């Protein structure tokens, strides 16, 4: 489908703008890993203090890059699949809100007014511009769903009353419906608690209640990141390996299971917090195991699709077909496979560590340790980032009408990223079992031989994780070279919105995966049942647990500090 003018500008900028920010995010990641290994012994770099850098690293990489990419990718996919143009007034408004919101939050973080980490845990308090920026980014990201894609899907349905909704379209609609639902608790947290305290309209907030509201949003957030990768695995990967999607119904079932199980699991981030009852934590633990189910379905369906494709290419034997996959192919679009397969390898580790985190008793060993950072660098930093990077490069080439440049660099990049983060993950997991904390500038404490806190037994794993980080960053630099060379190359064809879409091998007649109402009803009931008691506990007990605002530089209530300064 040809694309030009404002539509092309919007789509391209939704990919390029966050990528440019990601460069800063990745460099700050390198700083973290070197500081933790004691290779850098400083409380900051380039004028950016350690926790300020950690806030920028988490917020840019996990919130800004992902949200922009997901909106840009979904916009392009909806155009391509429904064959309809985007509604430009809606798209401009969405773009403007997202850009302004990002710049506001960036201003607050870069000027040291919002060193609250990407989880903005109260009682840490940021400047109001950080919260307003986040709200604008989120509102902007939702506009296309309500005002562009939903009307387009309804119009498509009227024209095609008996056809199945294309799988990619269904995936996007599930992702954004989930996004809308999970935004509600965090919007309450920001608008009723964090923002009023930050503006001085309220003196205190209840940390337990606000944290419970945050994780009500914070865990489903990871599936907002993951589902676009699953859309790619189901609809594009089979074509790249020369085959077909093994089962259409399995893919749809996986999306619908995410719809019902993604949200009511947030207490697995709060197992160690007092004030919430053990029974409800156990219930959330049980549902967390349920939300792993659609990922298991995905693992088997994707493996079956790869096997089908490899056998079409002459692959034989129980394991021999693995050799027929296009690991290093430069032919056509097949280079993209390297991003998916390396992401999948990392996600095997991400899945196993996630299940360890979810286990109530194991979590007590790993919570707040380096183990958690290992886990999320193989999930959001693994499959999600690699698939987003690969498809960003693909989209930039198509939208600019250029060929992918420096294909060798683009092909090696995901392998280096995978090797780097595998090393990082293993070292951080072992370190986590040793008790190494997360979110700590260890170069000034545990890995500094001059410090009383020095722990020589922790050093080796921190150094291995630093080596992993360096290898991954080299992969990123190779990717960056190919990305900018492709962006700036001379166009050789008409700019277009295109994707390598696969057909399904089996299209089973399962009515339940085409009727969304029962799933939405179960989703609402499950959320209401799983959260009424924890919220009641947190809100009622919270009356005694109100806390004044703090910030990371002044771990005394800000109000007292202001009084002190005035005196
Ligand atoms: Fe998680 C903490 C549990 C998935 C991200 N998670 C985090 C944090 C982040 C995060 C960012 O229960 C830190 C938050 C913070 O700052 O405090 N997580 C899980 C579970 C899953 C899970 C059960 N997480 C994710 C995904 C993320 C993500 C996805 C980002 C995208 N996580 C937790 C828990 C915590 C947590 C606790 C809190 C810990 C604490 O104490 O603080 C599941 O959804 C995982 C299911 C996945 C699978 C894997 C399926 C495998 C596939 C690959 C197949 C490969 C093939 C190729 C076919 C079951 C699909 C093979 C090829 C070869 C060549 C071998």
- What pLDDT is recorded for position 565? 46
Q: Which pLDDT score, from 0 to 100, does residue 558 have? A: 53
Rounded-to-integer distance, Cα 208 and Cα 212, Å: 6
The alpha carbon of 379 and the centre of ligand 1 are apart by a number of angstroms equal to 5
Q: Is 491 left (phi over 0), alpha (psi -120 to 50) or beta?
A: beta
Q: What is the pLDDT of residue 550?
A: 73
CA-nearest of 177, 226, 174 to 69 is: 226
Tell me, what's the pLDDT at 470?
Answer: 98
What are the mean pLDDT values of the chain's consecutive 10-residue runs (567 residues total)?
A: 93 97 96 96 90 96 97 98 96 98 97 93 92 97 98 96 96 98 97 94 89 96 98 98 97 98 97 92 98 98 97 94 96 96 98 97 96 98 98 98 97 98 98 96 95 96 98 98 98 96 94 95 98 92 72 57 49
What confidence score (pLDDT) does residue 408 get? 96
Of all protein residues, whose CA lies closest to atom 43 belonging to ligand 1?
Answer: 292
Nearest CA to ligand 1 atom 1: 354
Query: How many Å lie between the centroid of ligand 1 and the Cα of residue 350?
Result: 5
Question: What's the CA gap between 257 and 293, in Å, rounded?
Answer: 8
Please tell me if the CB atom of residue 321 comes closer than 6 angstroms to any atom of ligand 1.
no
299 Cβ below 6 A of ligand 1: yes
Residue 237 C-alpha from the chain's centroid: 20
The span from the CA of 197 to the CA of 558, in Å, is 11
Q: Check if 394 has its Cβ closer than 6 Å to any atom of ligand 1.
A: no
Does 219 participate in catalysis according to the annotation?
yes
Ligand 1, atom 6: closest residue by C-alpha: 376
For residue 291, the ligand 1 atom closest to its alpha carbon is 44
**CA nearest neighbour of 123 among 55, 209, 54:** 209
> Does 377 qualify as catalytic in the annotation?
yes
Q: Whose CA is nearest to atom 49 of ligand 1?
A: 351
Ligand 1 pocket check for 352: Cβ under 6 Å = no
Nearest atom (ligand 1) to Cα of 298: 60
Query: From ligand 1's centre to the CA of 383, what distance in Å?
Result: 10
Is 121 among the residues known to form the active site?
A: no
375 catalytically annotated: yes
Q: Which residue's CA is the closest to the ligand 1 atom numbered 9?
A: 376
SS3 sequence of 333-391: CHHHHHHHHHHHHHHHHHHHHHHHHHCHHHHHHHCCEHHHHHHHHHHHHHHHHHHHHHH
Q: Is 230 in the pocket of ligand 1 (CB under 6 A)?
A: no
C-beta of residue 13 within 8 angstroms of C-beta of residue 92: no
The Cα–Cα gap between 392 and 395 comes to 5
Residue 547: predicted pLDDT: 81
pLDDT at 566: 47
For 261, other C-beta atoms within 10 Å of its C-beta total 22
Total residue length of the chain: 567
pLDDT score at 203: 86
Cβ-based neighbours of 301, under 8 Å, separated by 6 or more: 234, 245, 246, 247, 250, 251, 254
Quote the tokens at residue 76. 């392009």
Query: Computed over its alpha carbons, how large is the radius of gyration of the chain?
Result: 23
The pLDDT of residue 25 is 96
Please tell me the pTM assigned to this model. 0.95
Distance 97 CA to ligand 1 centre (A): 30
């Amino acid at each position: 489908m040809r694309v030009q003018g404002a539509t092309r500008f919007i789509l391209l900028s939704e990919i390029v703008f966050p990528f440019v920010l990601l460069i800063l995010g990745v460099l700050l990641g390198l700083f973290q890993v070197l500081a933790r290994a004691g290779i850098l012994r400083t409380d900051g770099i380039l004028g950016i203090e350690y926790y300020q850098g950690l806030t920028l690293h988490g917020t840019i990489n996990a919130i800004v890059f992902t949200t922009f990419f997901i909106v840009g990718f979904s916009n392009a996919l909806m155009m391509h699949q429904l064959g309809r143009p985007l509604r430009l007034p809606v798209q401009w408004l969405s773009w403007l809100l997202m850009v302004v919101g990002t710049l506001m939050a960036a201003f607050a973080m870069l000027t040291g007014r919002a060193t609250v980490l990407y989880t903005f845990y109260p009682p840490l308090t940021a400047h109001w511009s950080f919260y307003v920026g986040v709200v604008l980014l989120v509102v902007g990201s939702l506009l296309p769903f309500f005002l562009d894609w939903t009307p387009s899907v309804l119009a498509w349905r009227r024209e095609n009353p008996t056809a199945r909704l294309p799988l990619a379209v269904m995936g996007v609609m599930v992702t954004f419906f989930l996004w809308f639902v999970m935004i509600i608790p965090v919007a309450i947290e920001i608008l009723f608690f964090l923002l009023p305290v930050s503006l001085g309209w309220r003196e205190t907030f209840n940390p337990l209640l606000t944290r419970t509201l945050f994780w009500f949003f914070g865990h489903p957030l990871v599936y907002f990141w993951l589902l676009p990768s699953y859309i790619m695995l189901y609809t594009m990967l089979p074509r790249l390996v020369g085959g077909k999607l093994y089962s259409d119904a399995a893919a749809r079932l996986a999306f619908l299971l995410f719809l019902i199980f993604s949200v009511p699991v947030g207490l697995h981030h709060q197992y160690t917090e007092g004030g919430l009852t053990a029974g409800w934590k156990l219930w959330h633990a049980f549902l967390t195991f349920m939300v792993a189910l659609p990922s298991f379905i995905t693992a088997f369906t994707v493996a079956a699709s790869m096997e089908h494709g490899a056998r079409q290419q002459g692959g034989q034997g129980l394991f021999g077909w693995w050799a027929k996959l296009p690991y290093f192919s430069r032919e056509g679009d097949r280079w993209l496979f390297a991003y998916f397969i390396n992401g999948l390898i990392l996600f095997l580790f991400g899945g196993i560590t996630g299940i360890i985190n979810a286990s109530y008793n194991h979590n007590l060993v790993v919570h707040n340790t380096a183990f958690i950072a290992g886990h999320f660098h193989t999930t959001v930093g693994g499959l999600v980032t690699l698939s987003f990077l690969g498809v960003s490069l693909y989209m930039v080439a198509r939208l600019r009408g250029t060929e992918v440049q420096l294909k060798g660099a683009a092909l090696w990049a995901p392998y280096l990223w995978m090797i780097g983060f595998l090393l990082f993950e293993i070292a951080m997991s072992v370190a986590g079992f040793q008790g190494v904390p997360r979110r700590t500038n260890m170069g000034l404490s545990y890995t500094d031989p001059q410090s009383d806190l020095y722990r020589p037994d922790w050093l080796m794993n921190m150094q291995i994780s630093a080596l992993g980080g360096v290898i991954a960053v080299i992969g990123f630099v190779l990717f960056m070279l190919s990305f900018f060379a492709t962006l700036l190359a001379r166009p050789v064809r008409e700019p277009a919105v295109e994707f390598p879409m696969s057909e399904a091998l089996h299209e089973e007649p399962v009515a339940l995966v085409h009727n969304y109402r029962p799933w939405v009803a179960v989703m609402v009931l499950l959320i209401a049942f799983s959260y009424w008691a924890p919220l009641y506990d947190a809100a009622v007990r919270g009356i005694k647990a109100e806390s004044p605002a703090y910030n990371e530089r002044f771990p005394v209530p800000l109000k007292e500090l202001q009084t002190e300064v005035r005196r």
